[in-house]
Structure 1
Amino acid sequence: MSDRKITSWLTDMDGVLIREDKAIPGAAELIKQWQDTDTPFLVLTNNSTYTPRDLSARLQHMGLKIPEERIWTSALATATFLADQKPNATAYVVGEAGLTTAIHEAGLIMTETNPDYVVLGETRSYSFEAIAKAVRLINNGARFIATNPDATSPTLEGPLPATGAVAALISKATNRSPYIVGKPNPMMFRSALNKLGVHSDDTGMIGDRMDTDVISGMEAGLHTVLVLSGISDKQEIERYPFRPKEVIDSVADLVETATDAPKASSAKTSAAKKKG
Structure 2
Amino acid sequence: MTERKPVECWLTDMDGVLVHEEHAIPGASDFIEALVETERRFLVLTNNSIYTPRDLRARLARSGIDLPEEVIWTSALATAAFLAEQRPGGSAYVVGEAGMTTALHEAGYTLTERDPDYVVLGETRTYSFEAITKAIRLIVAGARFIATNPDPSGPSPDGMLPATGSVAALITRATGREPYYVGKPNPLMMRSALNRIEAHSETTVMIGDRMDTDVVSGLEAGLRTVLVLTGSTSRDQVERYPFRPTRVVDSIADVVPLVAELAGR
Which band: TM-score by shorter chain? over 0.9
Q: Per-residue deviation at 1:245?
A: 0.7
Matching residue of 2:82: 81
3-state SS, counterpart of residue 232 of structure 1: coil
* Counterpart code for 2:125: R
State yes or no: 1:9 paired with 2:31.
no
Unpaired stretches in structure 2, ≥5 consecutive residues: none
CA deviation map 1:145-179 (0-9, x unaligned): 00011111211111121111111110011000000
1:13-42 deviations in whole A, cap 9, x for unaligned? 111111122111111001011112221110
CA distance in 1, matches of 2:37, 2:105: 33
- The aligned amino acid for 1:30 is F
- Determine the C-alpha separation between the residues in 2 that align with 1:140 and 1:242: 40
More deviation in 253-262 or 239-248? Answer: 253-262
**Equivalent position of 1:184 in the other structure:** 185
Q: Give the total of aligned pairs.
A: 263
Provide the secondary structure at the position in 1 that maps to 2:227.
strand
SS in 1 for 2:145: strand
Matched, 1:35 2:47: no
Q: C-alpha separation between the residues in 1 aligned to 2:130 and 2:255?
A: 47
State how far apart, in whole Å, the 2-side matches of 1:13 and 1:51 are: 14
Residues 140-179 of structure 1 mapped to structure 2, 5 A cutoff: 140-179=141-180
Matched with 1:271 is none
SS of alignment partner, residue 112 of structure 1:
coil
> 2:27 corresponds to which residue?
26
- The 5 Å alignment of 1:1-276 reads 1=1, 2-261=3-262
160-169 or 252-261: bigger deviation: 252-261
Take 1:34 and 1:57, find their aligned partners in 2: how far apart are those partners? 20
Instruction: Measure how far apart 1:125 and its partner are.
Output: 1.0
State how far apart, in whole Å, the 2-side matches of 1:77 and 1:29 are: 27
CA RMSD of aligned residues (A): 1.4
Q: Shift of residue 231 of structure 1?
A: 1.6
Q: Distance in 1 between matches of 2:115 and 2:255?
A: 50
Identical counterparts, % of pairs: 64
1:67 corresponds to which letter in structure 2? P
- Aligned-pair CA distance for 1:3: 2.0
Cα deviation, residue 257, structure 1: 2.7
Q: Which residue of 2 aligns with 1:267?
A: none
Mapped partners of 1:257, 1:161: distance in 2: 36
1:7 touches 1:260 (CA, 8 Å); kept in 2? Answer: no
**Aligned partners of 1:228, 1:93: CA distance in 2, in Å?**
34
Q: Supply the distance in 2 between the matched residues of 1:238 and 1:120 (Cα, whole angstroms).
A: 33
Letter in 1 for 2:85: D
In structure 1, what is the Cα distance between the partners aligned to 2:5 and 2:238? 23
Partner AA of 2:27 in structure 1: G
Q: Which amino acid is the alignment partner of residue 116 of structure 2? A: P
SS at 2:259's partner residue?
coil
Distance 2:139 2:191 in 1: 27
Name the structure 2 match of 1:273: none
Which of 250-259 and 195-204 deviates more? 250-259
Superposition misfits of 4+ residues, deviation over 3 angstroms: 259-262
Deviations 1:116-153 (Å, cap 9, x if unpaired)?
10000011111111111101110011100000111112
- Partners in 1 of 2:37 and 2:262 — Cα distance? 18
Partner deviation per Cα, 1:61-114 (whole Å, 9 max, x = no partner): 100001111100000000000001110011111100000000100111111111
Range that drifts further, 157-166 or 54-63: 157-166
Following TM superposition, by how much is the alpha carbon of 1:259 offset from its aligned partner in structure 2, in angstroms? 4.9
